[in-house]
Structure 1
Amino acid sequence: MLNIRRVVILLVAILVGSTAAAQDVGTVNFWDQHQRLAKPALPTLERIRFLTSVDYPPFNFLDARGRLGGFNVDLVQAACEELGLIDRCQIEARPFADLVPALLRGEGEAVVAGVAVTAPNRATLAFTESYFRYPARFVTRKDRPLAEPLAFSSTGKKVGVVDGSAHVAMLATFFPMAARVAFDNRELALEALRKGDVDAVFGDGVGLSFWLESEAADRCCSFSGGPYLSQRFLGEGLAIAVARKNADLAKALDYGIGQVIAKRRFSELMLRYFPVSAF
């Protein structure tokens, strides 16, 4: 007989899966659509320099012509347009390790490159609301899919997961009756899936969405169930960071991003940069 804790875990997993199934993958966003932000007094800055990196596609990268691009770049440009600041916004690329130090030295006003929203970082930084959260997903062979609710259908199934990752702990908590199979890296786990040595792989939905369209996948597989979101295991997602003294700038950017979402421009960016939705 299932104990009380396991029943609660199953119910949570079912709820997460049901909520995810109701989402429109083309218009997914993580903004509270009920909040009504008043247009803020714009910061009196001569320019707003956004600092980013170039090594995290599809969020930040250099295109074939060597130009800076990506989801984050287009998002802040759209937010600046909504705020009427497009002529004052600049985007500069630097190594990721130098982004926050440069911000704190006053060499930029904001960082849009996936700086973690953590308690230690909040000691020196202020953040916008999260505009993107990473989903966890199951990938299965197309000829052996798993049906919702996966809390039940994963029972006894061999599920590959990267050893030491947050997804190991998340899988153990929400899908405790799956048979976890740890691999040193994602490539080994996915190769085992292709061969049929495991029934599924559980991991980062964004990375898996691009793998599904890759030559390595060879059209073998697809998502089953989900997406599954968890702040506890996967963090607070992506937000723009500013120095704490510039917290008003974060609020202004919140308004700008909110307008981008309300006018469905955010959805257009999702479709542009994530042709296979992670959601």
Structure 2
Amino acid sequence: MTVLTGAAVLALGLHGGVVWAQQGPTTAAAASAPEAVMVPGFWDPKRRPERPDVTRLPVQIRFVTTEDYPPFSFRGEDGRPTGFNVDIARAICTELAIRCTLEILPFEQLVEALESGKADAAIAGIAISAASRERTDFSDRYFRSPARFVARRGDPAQKVTPDALASKSVGVVADTAHEAYLRDFFNEIAIRRFPDAEAARAALQKGDIDLLFGDGVQLALWLNGTASAGCCVFVGGPFTESLYFGEGMGIAVKRGNDPLRQSLNYALAQLWEEGVYTDLYLRWFPISVY
């Protein structure tokens, strides 16, 4: 179990513009980030969550997450938990000035840990949905992965509309929400179905398809990695229809735990307003997902 005390968070450089050692932008670096990197904001400045009553907060927040969901939560080279979710949890602890712990669990055990009282909050890319709300309550959304089109670099610039793509072949992973979206809104394109994302990306690189449509985060990681060999770029979008691609990610808490949920909402809104969220986003998503 990892302890996330406020002092430890400050030492790690999550606040105050402290330099991250070989790990990406600081507050100063974020100011000079490429204009193409758009940081999404999920907080309405007109709706400010109330500052939590410290007397209603627990002595500590016991976070749980997973270790198999990069770049959100995974084990670093030193074996310690790292990732966007882990950094957000640490920043929340600093904002609330509260001691926190972080434990790694299999994804299927996260909700059970909340229900049994073994954990207070799960930050593990849990999608907010009608089904998930039946077992847990959620903080406000802190991330949403859009769908995106990708084309080979150097292909003629094109509008991404149903009419403009009518003569194009578009690859997509079979039996996914992305395929369903293409069939409903881009029904004149030639849809090429692939068994997995790797096969679809390989087809785009070889020129077997004109475009690829899929999850923005996973595509951004591929574009920013060595496997893509700089072949391709995002075009058009983003596409965020909740009916197909979900409402986004929230921090799950036990049903009825309103004091903690409201405290998390306050901390998340403060992290956005103070620029901390932007710094962390740019660290983990150097190629814009949006």
Shorter-chain TM-score above 0.5: yes
- Structure 1 residues 210, 36: closer, same or farther in 2, change over 3 A? same
2-structure distance, mates of 1:229, 1:154: 19
Q: CA deviation at 1:210?
A: 1.1
- The amino acid that maps onto 1:39 is R
Contact 1:109/1:243 (8 A) holds in 2: yes
Write the mapping of 1:118-137 to structure 2, written as runs, cut at 5 A: 118-137=129-148
1:157 aligns with 2:168: yes
Structure 1 pair 24–250 and aligned structure 2 pair: CA distance change class (3 A): farther
- The CA deviation at 1:215 is 2.7
**Equivalent in the alignment of 2:240:** 229
2:286 to 254, 272, 275: 275
Alignment partner, residue 83 of structure 1: 96
Which digits, 9 at most, give the CA deviation of each residue in 1:61-114, with x for residues without a partner? 1111111111111112112222222xx211111121211111111101010002
Q: Distance in 1 between matches of 2:243 and 2:82?
A: 30
Q: Does 1:62 align with 2:62?
A: no
Alignment of 1:184-203 (within 5 A): 184-203=195-214
SS at match of 1:33: coil
The equivalent position to 2:116 in structure 1, one of 90, 105, 113, is 105
Per the TM alignment, residue 32 of structure 1 is displaced from its structure 2 partner at its CA by: 2.2
Q: Give the partner amino acid of 1:232.
A: L
Read off the aligned partner of 1:151 and give its amino acid letter: P
**Which has the larger displacement, 221-230 or 23-32?**
23-32
AA aligned to 1:216 is A
Q: Which residue of 1 aligns with 2:50?
A: 38
Q: Structure 1 residues 120 and 27, CA, compared in 2 at 3 Å: closer, same or farther? A: closer
Give the drift of 1:213.
2.5
Letter in 1 for 2:64: L
What is the Cα deviation at residue 26 of structure 1? 3.9
Report deviation, 1:202: 0.2
Residue of structure 1 aligned with 2:181, choices 161, 166, 170: 170
Equivalent of residue 265 in structure 2, options 237, 254, 279? 254
Cα offset for 1:234? 0.8
Q: Is the 8 A contact 1:192 1:198 kept in 2?
A: yes
Where 2:126 maps in the other structure, the secondary structure is coil
- Give the counterpart of 2:193 among 182, 185, 190: 182
45-54 vs 110-119, which moves further: 110-119
Residues 183 and 211 of structure 1: CA distance in aligned 2, closer, same or farther (over 3 Å): same
Deviation per residue, 1:110-153 (Å, 9 max, x gap): 10002232223222211011110111111101122552343332
Partner residue, 1:27: 39
Question: What one-letter code is carried by the residue in structure 1 that aligns with 2:71?
Answer: P
Is the Cα contact below 8 Å between 1:194 and 1:220 reproduced in 2? Answer: yes
Q: Residue 128 of structure 2 contacts residue 246 of structure 2 at CA under 8 Å; is this kept in 1? A: yes
Letter in structure 2 aligned against 1:38: E
Please say if residues 48 and 266 of structure 2, whose CA atoms lie closer than 8 Å, have aligned partners that are also in contact: no
Q: What TM-score comes out, normalization by structure 1 length?
A: 0.86
Whether the 8 Å contact between 1:140 and 1:223 is mirrored in structure 2 is yes
On the 8 A contact 1:183/1:189 being kept in 2, the answer is yes
Change (3 A) 1:202 1:149: closer
Unpaired segments ≥5 residues, structure 1: 1-22
2:152 and 2:258 mapped to 1: Cα distance? 47
- Aligned-partner residue type, residue 154 of structure 2: D
CA–CA distance in structure 1, aligned partners of residues 57 and 202 of structure 2: 54
Taking a change above 3 Å as real, the CA distance of residues 145 and 190 of structure 1, as seen in their structure-2 partners, is: farther
Cα 1:149–1:192 change in 2 (3 A) is closer
RMSD of the TM alignment (CA)?
Answer: 1.6
Preserved contact between residue 51 and residue 113 of structure 1 (Cα < 8 Å): yes
1:73 lines up with 2:96 in the alignment: no
Aligned to 2:18: none
